[in-house]
């Protein structure tokens, strides 16, 4: 746990340092002032999209080190050979390049996919999954993760987070200037304590709303990955996998950066549900059953 926390802190510090260097270059070379609207927009774009895309580019590296995942270069046994051949077959069916396949030590039933693109990705399964699921169920989980990659979910979520981050930065500072101007009698130039206090509060408030929106997209994406897993492995296998997943659903030792891309999500009710990256299992199973009903009706 300490290793993962240290890695998370170090990664974010690296992001902040790099973005600070970029902003210094923009200000020094191009003479962009962050006190005007143009400068504010540049700052918002750099911090809003920069952090998201740097995290995306580093996602495989962070996931491997955060989980201690071992990439299967040469299968050591028949089980590992089955994992690699199953992912290869599903990747070909989904039209993507072969992902790296890895195993990581964790007690819960889980798996995740990450990577900067459809053709540069990683699919990893937990040892808890390998112990608890039969091969039909594991095949469906692999199909779910391969579908995340094929759907471009990692890039989509980075784009969505970048847009939301940019809006939060811009709106909080624009509103901060308006409120500060009102409190100070609309003085020209400079900002007062009202600006900084308003920005501090609104960054948190708007950030909460942005998180709700991002998690709504994440839940929609999870339904699509379940449908993709059903298409690659079979609806019955996908339903059985989700039912088996209920044994440890809500337990998640994945690093924060990749938790949204695991097949297992948090359990929550009421307002907490608005911040969940995954829908409840019963809703996911019901959605697969409705999908099957539509297929039979169309046939």
Rg (CA), the chain: 22
- Residue 105 annotated as catalytic: no
Q: Distances in Å between the alpha carbon of 110 and those of 51, 185, 246? A: 27, 57, 11
Residue among 145, 156, 96, 144 at smallest CA distance from 120: 96
Tens digits of residue pLDDT in 77-136: 999 999 999 999 999 999 999 999 999 999 999 999 999 999 999 999 999 999 999 999
Confidence of residue 190 (pLDDT cuts 50, 70, 90): low
Tens digits of residue pLDDT in 10-27: 555 565 565 556 556 655
Tens digits of residue pLDDT in 151-160: 989 888 888 8
Write down the pLDDT at residue 296: 39
Confidence of residue 299 (pLDDT cuts 50, 70, 90): very low
Say if CB 128 and CB 107 are below 8 A apart.
yes
Q: Report how far residue 2's alpha carbon sits from residue 77's, in angstroms, rounded to the nearest whole number.
A: 32
Q: Report how far residue 193's alpha carbon sits from residue 199's, in angstroms, rounded to the nearest whole number.
A: 10
The residues, any chain, with a CB within 8 Å of residue 261's CB and separated by 6 or more, are: 112, 113, 114, 145, 148, 153, 154
Q: Distance from first CA to last CA of the chain, Å, rounded? A: 51
Write down the pLDDT at residue 268: 61
Residue among 159, 161, 271 at smallest CA distance from 213: 161
Judged against a pLDDT cut of 70, whether residue 5 lies above it is answered with no
Quick one: average pLDDT of 231-240? 94
Sign for the CA dihedral angle at 186, 187, 189, 192 comes to: negative
Catalytic residue of the set 100, 108, 137, 145: 145
Give 213-258 as a DSSP string: HHHHHHHHHHHHHHHHHHHHH-HHHHHHHHHHHTTTTT---S-GGG
pTM equals 0.80
Q: Report how far residue 97's alpha carbon sits from residue 213's, in angstroms, rounded to the nearest whole number.
A: 30
Residue among 124, 8, 126, 123 at smallest CA distance from 58: 8
| Planar angle of CA 134, 114, 203, nearest 5 degrees | 125
Find the DSSP H helices in the chain: 2-30, 37-57, 59-67, 78-94, 127-132, 135-150, 153-183, 193-233, 235-245, 281-298
Q: Biggest alpha carbon distance in the chain?
A: 75
Write down the pLDDT at residue 186: 59
Q: Report how far residue 100's alpha carbon sits from residue 164's, in angstroms, rounded to the nearest whole number.
A: 30
Say if CB 51 and CB 19 are below 8 A apart.
yes
Q: Report how far residue 87's alpha carbon sits from residue 100's, in angstroms, rounded to the nearest whole number.
A: 9
Write down the pLDDT at residue 102: 96
Strand arrangement, sheet containing 111-117? 70-71, 100-104, 120-126, 111-117
Coil, helix or strand for 115?
A: strand
């Amino acid at each position: 746990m300490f290793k993962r926390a240290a890695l998370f802190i170090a990664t974010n510090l690296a992001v902040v340092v790099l973005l600070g260097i970029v902003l210094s270059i923009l200000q020094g070379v191009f003479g962009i002032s962050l006190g005007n609207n143009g400068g504010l927009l540049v700052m918002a774009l750099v911090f809003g999209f920069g952090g998201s895309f740097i995290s995306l580019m580093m996602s495989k590296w962070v996931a491997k080190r955060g989980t201690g995942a071992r990439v299967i270069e040469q299968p050591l046994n028949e089980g590992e050979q089955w994992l690699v051949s199953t992912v290869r077959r599903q990747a070909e069916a989904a039209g993507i390049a072969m992902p790296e396949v890895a195993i990581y030590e964790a007690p819960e039933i889980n798996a995740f996919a990450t990577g900067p693109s459809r053709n540069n990705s990683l699919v990893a399964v937990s040892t808890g999954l390998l112990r608890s699921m039969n091969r039909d169920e594991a095949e469906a989980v692999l199909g779910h993760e391969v579908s995340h990659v094929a759907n471009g979910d990692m890039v989509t979520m980075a784009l969505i987070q970048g847009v939301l981050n940019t809006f939060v930065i811009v709106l909080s500072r624009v509103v901060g200037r308006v409120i500060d101007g009102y409190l100070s009698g609309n003085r020209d130039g400079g900002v007062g304590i009202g600006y900084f206090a308003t920005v501090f509060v609104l960054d948190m408030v708007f950030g909460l709303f942005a998180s709700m929106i991002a998690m709504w997209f994440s839940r929609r994406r999870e339904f699509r990955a379940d449908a993709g897993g059903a298409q690659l492995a079979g609806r019955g296998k996908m339903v059985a996998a989700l039912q088996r997943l209920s044994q440890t659903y809500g337990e998640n030792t994945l690093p924060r950066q990749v938790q949204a891309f695991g097949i297992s999500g948090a359990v929550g009710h009421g307002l907490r549900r608005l911040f969940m990256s995954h829908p409840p299992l019963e809703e996911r199973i019901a959605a697969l059953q409705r999908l099957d009903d539509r297929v039979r009706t169309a046939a």
